[in-house]
Structure 1
Amino acid sequence: MAFVVFIFALLLKVSTALSSQDINHLFSTVLIFGDSTADSGNNNYINTPLKADHPPYGEDFPGKIPTGRFSNGKLVSDFWASLLGIKQTVPPFLQLNISDFDIRTGVNFTFVGSGYNDMTAQISQVITVTKQLYCFKEYIKRLKKVVGIKVEGALVSISVGTNDFMISYYDLPSRGDDFSMDDYQDYILKKLQNFVNELYKHGCQTMVVSGLPLMERSTRFG
């Protein structure tokens, strides 16, 4: 219930700003954490088979280029940044020669195939959510050099968790022996809670956590 109230309050804040034409002053920065639902290209810079740096990805993106987004165009996080008047797209943190402007206005820390459970990222051969937090701490160091401030004015989006169930639970036959579904959900929620607490400790005050889509367990044979 508290999360629903928070989302309602955030949307009300955005709606009020829209009506007063003051939306450009709501947030100064957008910071994105997550998996394939939000990765804007960090996987391009690591050794993993999970990449979207080739057609048909990006066919509706400005310039019609594949950027590493697992999408034909922009991501929700890009639209958030645009709606808030910050910038048109949110670049990956690992992007080479990332500009001071992008450090000031926000970057994307997500990796396709990642999850709250470190095992998820290990199976996918990508960066864990724990290491996304490490990237965030490195970002803070550079942010302080660029503008000398912390991240209190940032809108933080977290979109991750599906892989923790599809890869680390349903695709591992032994996982059901270690955890019941209820226990595993509690385990993932605890991981999320710890992650949010760490972000809060480092100055993040406004966070949106996306829920998971409906998932069906695939039929197993043998």
Structure 2
Amino acid sequence: MPAAAAPHRQLLGGILLLLLWRPAAVRARVTAVIVFGDSTVDAGNNNAVPTVVRSNFPPYGRDFPGRRATGRFCNGRLATDFYSEAYGLRPFVPAYLDPDYGIRDFATGVCFASAGSGLDVATAGVFVSKFTPTQPKSYSSIFNLRTIVLCSYDAGVDPPNQIRLNLSRYPKIGLGILIHSISSFRFPPNRSESASKSSQPNSSVIPLWKQVEYFREYKRRLAAHLGAAEAEGVVSDAVYAISVGTNDFIENYFAGTTRRYLQFGVGEYTDFLVGLARGLLVELYGLGARKVAFTGLAAAGCLPLVRARRMMLCAEEYNAAARAFNDALRGMVAELADDLPGAHLRFADVYDFFADILGDPARYGKLYR
């Protein structure tokens, strides 16, 4: 393994340690990896939803086994796929709505996440009207830009995700990091202007409450498949990964697409979101989850969508909101862990990892131009 790859292992290893709890726990029984959240961890559920928020077309998946665009907002596997493999489970976590997989596959891991979702139920509804199939054309002029895309931290809901890229100008600079020039604007397959005139409505993505409902359904199916006792063991010994919150700020609050910016100041909205996160953790605990990692936000103001709107400059007010959210979330998780008997809750801080990659991307792999 070349030396340049070492930082990647350090980054992934640092996040994995947050999920492995403590060295002795690596040898403990982990039955499954169960995932909730947004595009940072969506393994393809949006393929089954009538929405433009999809990534089941090239160049997504170019480094996935078989070079398949599975619906992951990434060039290859997601962080949660690596988690699963690290626990000795499958090398990837299948999407719950993927028709190619069934309850036998989901017994060792399942993803309920949906790109575009948020903690705030209003966030998922943004995409019913905001990105209709005919609207993205208005964005084409601002995306003739060269920008870094880190697949695991892309908001996954911006107009660049609704275009085709020139693959010859899409070189990889490191694990999960791509640099590209957007040379043309087109709709994804089957989302042309003519398709927009069809009678099928442009649906919302899957809100978090619905993801939890799918988890309840999953538990019932698992009990029917394995028996109640064994299914309960799978659920209690699974590791739960939650990655959500970026869209609440970027596509909801700061974008002014709902009335949240009128109802709350930034700090108040942060408290509102953290309260929702607490409710989610308590609900999952009541459903049997015991080992849960909640990933904080990356530098939201430096995401490709934000930088494209600001002449490639980061939005510090967005980054400040992300840091404040992370601080509040970290405190809530630590407090709740003391209140729930038998719960092992962790806050996974990825902000500095992401900032380091943005500051020195070549350190994380060879940069091709």
| TM-score under structure 2 length normalisation | 0.54
Number of the residue aligned with 2:49: 46
**CA distance in structure 2 between the aligned counterparts of 1:96 and 1:10, rounded to whole angstroms:** 29
Offset from partner CA, 1:122-164 (integer Å, 9 cap, x none): 1122110011111111101101011122210110000000000
Offset from partner CA, 1:66-98 (integer Å, 9 cap, x none): 000000000000000000001111010011152
Q: Which residue identity does 1:37 align to in structure 2?
A: T
| Structure index of larger Rg | 2
Shift of 1:17: 5.3
Q: RMSD over aligned Cα, in angstroms?
A: 2.0
**CA distance in structure 2 between the aligned counterparts of 1:12 and 1:129, rounded to whole angstroms:** 25
Alpha-carbon contact 1:103-1:142 (below 8 Å) kept: no
Q: Which residue identity does 2:87 align to in structure 1?
A: L
* 2:242 counterpart SS class: strand
- Residue ranges of structure 1 left out of the alignment (5+ in a row): 1-6
Q: Percent identity?
A: 38
Match of 1:99 among 89, 97, 102: 102
Residue 10 to residue 187, structure 1, CA distance change in 2 (3 Å): same
Runs of 4+ in 1 over 6 A off after TM superposition: none
Alignment of structure 1 residues 21-32 onto 2, 5 Å: 22=27, 25-32=28-35
1:128 is the counterpart of 2:207:
yes
Residue 10 to residue 42, structure 1, CA distance change in 2 (3 Å): closer
Number of the residue aligned with 1:203: 288
Offset from partner CA, 1:19-47 (integer Å, 9 cap, x none): xxx3xx53011100010000000000010
Q: Which one has a larger percent helix, Structure 1 or Structure 2?
A: 2
Alpha-carbon contact 1:118-1:129 (below 8 Å) kept: yes
Number of the residue aligned with 1:191: 276
Number of the residue aligned with 2:244: 160
Q: Which residue identity does 1:194 align to in structure 2?
A: G
**CA distance in structure 1 between the aligned counterparts of 2:21 and 2:213, rounded to whole angstroms:** 32
Match of 1:65 among 59, 68, 74: 68
Shift of 1:10: 4.7
Number of the residue aligned with 1:182: 267
Residue 8 to residue 50, structure 1, CA distance change in 2 (3 Å): closer
| TM-score under structure 1 length normalisation | 0.87
Shift of 1:58: 0.3
Match of 1:82 among 79, 82, 85: 85
Q: Which residue identity does 2:106 align to in structure 1?
A: I
Residue 59 to residue 153, structure 1, CA distance change in 2 (3 Å): same
**CA distance in structure 2 between the aligned counterparts of 1:170 and 1:143, rounded to whole angstroms:** 40
Shift of 1:177: 2.4
